[in-house]
Structure 1
């Protein structure tokens, strides 16, 4: 895919964000677009960067590290949005600005301990399995208060909010209801942890359900296919 088509795709996604925001009575500036660049070459990320995109999401650490190194110094905000094993936390702590997929206190503590002191605190979201799917990562809504309370005091992490990947559903009303449940969970957390002043993030909404997510209060949408085009067969993934 060439620079022109990626730029056009980004413009189309930004327009969709603007339209969805207007329909919800929100400002488009409230929503950050994370371009999901997993499996895509550095050249595609550079094309998006040239078009003004600065937030990129990756699922696979080894693949991501090559991109982080090659694109160092470009002011990119790197988001890790894949499952994170405890033996890989150091790489994430040293190279990413955000981790969206925290579901275990062990992983959070390792990230906290391994975050370099020269870097600002690592922004994290707690991943909620909002529909209780056996195939999805994330904690249950019932487990959320305990995990949030354990993560909040960790000084090298900044608890920003929640992330979810709902079960596929083509009904916009059902999509919105699911996202509204996640938004309510974030409101509950704010009351539970009043001293956590950075609880401002709902990482929810992908290519197929972004409009419903924005209507329900999303502040960060993760879009891959609509920016970079379809992936090669066998490389599709839930998280875009």
Structure 2
């Protein structure tokens, strides 16, 4: 007969998160050293999707300042519950226009801007709320090989056109680029090369908008490749929070 699991106390969970954070920080520091970069050049964003607000509070107590969510319904409730904390909220999921008003209420940075209609919706919502919103263009590197391939994101050859739309949109700030290592196309299974390609696109973007220097790339499994390529932000979930049952 299986013994029932002991409940996890707040102290146990805090200790677990602290140990995981230390391990991730060590990975980032080692990757920076290997790439000849200063550790301060890379910001850790902890992806808290499916984990409770209590974990966000523990992370904040451990010094985390950047957290990310990918589903508005969960994110809105969690951000409201943690509104007293000194956090920067990143929205990293695919964003439908009917969720824009809610997302702009709590998100400081949207990583998944990939079409003109979304730019218009974000700008309108930000104007209504009197907020400035940082926007990253999500680049779909698999679309270099097949315009119809892959998940969300703008094709590399359409980045500058979309960037111009963001630059012209009131209350939006073009902050940089984001990508996820592709599962198909020429960069499948080659995250280092994918992130290096993103850096090439970033250099082109900065020729248009010099302050758009944020490059969000790399997750738990490939953050070293992202740091080596030059990413400024890495998005890490399971390596910090561990593998736990989903909330829903």
- TM-score normalized by the length of structure 1: 0.90
The structure in which a higher percent of residues are helix is 2
Q: Structure 1 residue 37 and structure 2 residue 68: aligned?
A: no
Gaps of 5+ in 2: 1-7
Which residue pairs with 1:174 in the alignment?
A: 190
Query: What is the correspondence of 1:77-226 to structure 2 with a 5 Å cutoff?
Result: 77-115=88-126, 120-132=131-143, 134-168=149-183, 174-191=190-207, 193=208, 196-226=209-239
**Structure 1 contact 94–116 (Cα < 8 Å) conserved:** no
8 Å Cα contact 1:93-1:116 kept in structure 2 = no
- Could you give the per-residue CA deviations for residues 90-119 of structure 1, whole angstroms, max 9, x where no partner exists? 111121100000001111111111115775
Task: Report the CA distance shift for 1:233/1:111 in structure 2 as closer, same or farther (over 3 A).
Answer: closer
Structure 1 residues 20-45: Cα deviation after superposition (integer angstroms, max 9, x where no partner): 00100101111111100000011111
| In the alignment, structure 1 residue 17 sits paired with structure 2 residue 32 | no
The answer to whether the 8 A contact 2:126-2:133 is kept is yes
Q: Does 1:74 align with 2:85?
A: yes
Structure possessing the higher radius of gyration over alpha carbons: 2
- Post-superposition Cα deviations, 1:35-84, rounded to whole Å, max 9, x if no partner, equal 00000011111111111001101011011111111111211100000010
Quick check: 2:138–2:179 contact (8 Å CA) kept in 1?
yes
Which structure 1 residue ranges, 5 or more long, are not aligned?
Answer: 236-240
Of the structure 1 ranges 160-169 and 175-184, higher mean CA displacement relative to structure 2 is found in 160-169
Does the CA-based 8 Å contact 2:220-2:238 persist in structure 1? Answer: yes
Aligned length: 230
Counterpart CA distance in 1 for 2:182 and 2:174 is 25
Instruction: Compute the displacement of 1:234 (Å).
Output: 10
Partner of 1:238: none
Residue number in structure 1 paired with 2:3:
none
Contact 1:121–1:158, Cα closer than 8 Å, also in 2 = yes
- Let me know the Cα RMSD of the aligned residues: 2.1
Q: Distance in 2 between matches of 1:17 and 1:120?
A: 32
**Shift, 1:166, TM fit:** 1.4
Deviation at 1:131, TM superposition (A): 2.0
Q: 1:185-233: per-residue Cα shift (whole Å, max 9, x none)?
A: 0101122x1xx34211110000111001000000010000000001437
Normalising by the residue count of structure 2, what TM-score does the alignment of the two structures yield?
0.87
Is contact 2:176-2:214 (8 Å) kept? Answer: yes
1:139 Cα deviation after fit: 1.0
